[in-house]
Structure 1
Amino acid sequence: MTQRYDIYAIGNALVDTEVEVSDAFLERMGIGKGIMTLVDEARQRELVSALNSETRVHRRASGGSACNTAVAAQYFGARAFYACRVADDDTGHFFVDDLHAAGVDTNMAGDKSAGVSGKCLVMITPDAERTMNTFLGISETVGEEAVIEDQVAASRFAYIEGYLVTSPSARAAAIRLRETAKKAGVRTALTFSDPAMVQFFADGLREMIGDGVDILFCNEAEALGFSGTDNIDAAIDILRTHANALVITRGAQGARLWDGDRIIDVEPFPVKAVDSNGAGDMFAGAFLYALSQSHDFATAGRLASAAAARVVSDFGPRLPAAEHLAIRRDILGH
């Protein structure tokens, strides 16, 4: 079968609204810093109302972890498909229009169900840490119908967002995608997404991983938490029993990769970080793009490190399309 997509990704479809806040605001509102917390719509409205008096919105865009990864890969030059669920409301239509503007195909281009689309309030503190309060809305009901077998089989990678672990139907969809991809000979990748997913849903993540994935993406905190150790080398020894390769981001220390044969340390690109939101998503998107173009892990790591450094140096989880091409030229020479 002719390859149509480089990446078939599945995740929670959310419209992200990003704002700057103080640590005092998080404390006053009882918000856990540095993690994603699921909230109901009433709580999100309460937070938005409180924010209106003391902050400004930086941007509003289609989002969610795997969505950001798919858009990044697309901007680097890959072909991406994003499977999700949105409602037939203004937020849902905004999401699909924004996704299409980035060139990403989706299963939500046609009819949509009644309901409320998912939204995520992304709060950035002065230390560049991102804290998210998410109302999943209809996105948490994404199910196995989002796995389109022909499209999956025509892809190079199937990419699974760890946030799907919080919903039974979404978890089933993630498992279905992994199984469908494996049957078709398509490489599978999964990201843990957030330390809270590892802390509270480790058993569900193991269920999603099943008998293993080809590439596991995580940051160092997630790697240590999932493996129950305080040493990254020990964590790698445990994680390699779940994946054929590992990509572990380490913030200002760069990244550590295991390509199935050797450990590769990726140097960071020093920048002043102002917003860590989307760094891991960008890293995964750049990395998968490079692999889809037959580059090795070391080269993919350099491209991903450069892209992640650039995205944390400004507000927002994404970069303009032209900046991806500039980074690609600098690192890959084309």
Structure 2
Amino acid sequence: MATVDLFAIGNALIDQEFKVSNEFLTQQALQKGTMQLTDGETQAALYQQLQDSQSYKGQASGGSAANTTVAFSALGGTAFYGCRVGNDELGSIYLNGLNDAGIKTAKQSISEGVTGTCMVLISPDSERTMHTFLGITAELSAEQIDFEPLKTAKWIYIEGYLSTSDTARVAVKQARELAKQHGVKIALSLSDPAMVQYARSGLEELLDDGVDLLFCNEQEALMFTNTDNLDAAIEALKVNNQHIVITQGANGAMIIDPSKQFHVAGRQVEAVDTNGAGDAFAGAFLYAINAGLSLEAAAQLAILISSEVVAQFGPRLSVENYAKLFEQFKATQQECA
């Protein structure tokens, strides 16, 4: 298989998006801004209630690392995505969507079973709350992943949501070992406050002895380090991780490397849906540093891309929009030079 810049491993999920009221979240005992795992029967019951009383916004291929990989690829990188889908219509839709975005996948990703689905609930403040039935992706293992492209990749990207799966954590361990053998840099996202709260030991296993690049938001950073201020969290995260990116929503992001740290301002947009914003940020940031841009420029591009994701419904932009925004970004950089 051809060499790729980015090798990613993550869950494969079809998103069903709804605009919901705060009262609906309270009635369903859902914690706003987090992801909750469920079974198929419970999710089906929720889906029926959503259709009966809330506003349906559409279906989209999701999965955190997949969203990141789409952004990376659409900006001009080459990428492979290792995942597990069912041998069903949604599984075909999912893999075809990745291939249409220029991302390589493997036939061994397809297994007998049901493709995972996620109810993405967007409250009036644009925050996303997720109710996820993993389906067959809960059993993602090394058997579904073609590790050959990893040997010549520049980066491997791992989503923190894999922390809940015993078999996925084993696959990630194998991938990390292979990456180290072949000089591939490792990036990982903590993904969600719920993963820090309920799957902490799994996250620690995924992180192992640290990564070259760690993504998290401010809440995740504080929770993971058991600290109550960002400076203390940064010091704790620096112990094992080379570079750290802490996103702060509309306020921008903190960028930390071994010798310095700095803040990059956010970009103001009318927020509609935060689903996929952090994923897009990670994909754009990875693309930029892989292309040789500075950390500051990488953060600026990531903020531009992720803010546009927030300004629409759905976890991804169209492939054409990523490219258009990148051209806009390059023109701005030239004007400032």
- What's the offset of the Cα at 1:22? 0.6
Once residues 93 and 56 of structure 1 are traced to their aligned partners in structure 2, the CA distance between those partners, rounded to angstroms, is 26
Q: What is the CA distance between 1:296 and its match in structure 2?
A: 1.4
The structure 2 residue matched to 1:216, chosen from 214, 217, 221, is 214
Say whether the 8 Å CA contact 1:162–1:205 is kept in structure 2: yes
1:291 partner SS? helix
Aligned-CA RMSD value: 1.5
Secondary structure of 2:49's counterpart equals helix
Distance 1:261 1:159 in 2: 23
What is the deviation of 1:48?
Answer: 0.6
- 1:303–1:332 Cα contact (<8 Å) kept: no
For 1:165, which of 163, 166, 180 is the aligned residue?
163
User: What pairs with 1:250-261 in structure 2 (closer than 5 Å)?
Assistant: 250-261=248-259
- Equivalent in the alignment of 1:28: 27
Deviates more, 1:296-305 or 1:313-322: 313-322
Per-residue deviation, residues 233-281 of structure 1 (Å, max 9, x unmatched): 1101000112110010001210001133210211101112111111100
Normalising to structure 1: TM-score of the pair?
A: 0.96
Q: Which residue of 2 aligns with 1:192?
A: 190
How many residue pairs align between the two structures? Answer: 332
Give the aligned partner of residue 67 of structure 1: 66
1:318 aligns with 2:316: yes
Q: How does 1:92-241 map to 2 (within 5 A)?
A: 92-107=91-106, 109=107, 112-241=110-239
1:91 equivalent in alignment to 2:90: yes
**Is contact 1:258-1:264 (8 Å) kept?**
yes
Say if 2:252 and 2:264, in contact at 8 Å, map to a contact too.
yes
Shift of 1:148: 3.1
- Distance apart, 1:231 and its partner CA: 0.9
Structure 1 residue 146: Cα displacement: 4.0
Question: 1:269: which partner in 2?
Answer: 267
Residues 87 and 117, structure 1, Cα contact 8 Å, conserved in 2: yes
Deviation digits for residues 10-50 of structure 1 (CA, Å, limit 9, x no counterpart): 00111111111111111112222110000000011001100
Provide the rounded CA distance (Å) in 2 between the counterparts of 1:292 and 1:264: 20
Q: Determine helix, strand or coil for the equivalent of 1:121.
A: strand
Preserved CA contact (<8 Å) 1:62 1:95: yes
Residues 68 and 317, structure 1, Cα contact 8 Å, conserved in 2: yes
Listed as ranges, the gaps of 5+ residues in structure 1 are none
Which residue identity does 1:54 align to in structure 2?
S
The answer as to whether partners of 2:18 and 2:57 remain within 8 angstroms in 1 is yes
The alpha-carbon deviation at position 59 of structure 1 amounts to 2.5
TM-score w.r.t. structure 2 length? 0.95
The amino acid that maps onto 1:189 is: A
Distance 1:171 1:230 in 2: 29
Change (3 A) 1:168 1:258: same
Mean Cα displacement is larger for which, 78-87 or 314-323?
Answer: 314-323
Match of 2:55 in 1: 56
C-alpha change, 1:111 and 1:277, in structure 2 (3 Å) is closer
Instruction: Give the whole-Å Cα distance in 1 for the aligned partners of 2:272 and 2:47.
Output: 22
After TM superposition, give the deviation of residue 149 of structure 1 in Å.
3.3
**1:5 aligned counterpart, secondary structure:** coil
Aligned counterparts of 1:250 and 1:111: Cα–Cα separation in 2: 34
CA displacement at 1:110 relative to structure 2:
5.5
The structure 1 residue matched to 2:294, chosen from 293, 296, 310, is 296
Q: 1:285 aligns with which of 276, 283, 286?
A: 283
Amino acid at match of 1:186: V
Q: Which runs of 5+ in 2 are unaligned?
A: none
Q: How many Å separate the matches in 2 of 1:105 and 1:151?
A: 10
SS of 1:68's equivalent in the other structure is helix
Pair 172,102 (structure 1): closer, same or farther in 2 beyond 3 Å: same
Kept in 2: contact 1:259–1:297 (CA 8 A):
no
Q: 1:149 to 1:99 in 2, by over 3 A?
A: closer
CA contact (8 A) 1:147 1:177 kept: no
Secondary structure at the counterpart of residue 87 of structure 2: coil
CA distance in 2 between counterparts of 1:58 and 1:89 reads 23
CA contact (8 A) 2:86 2:136 kept: yes
Distance in 2, matches of 1:202 and 1:137, equals 22
Q: How far 1:147 moved relative to its partner?
A: 4.2
Distance (whole Å) between structure 2 residues aligned to residue 129 and residue 141 of structure 1: 29
1:304 corresponds to which letter in structure 2? A
Deviation string 1:208-244 (CA, Å, 9 cap, x unpaired) is 1111110000000000000111111110100011211
Identity %: 45
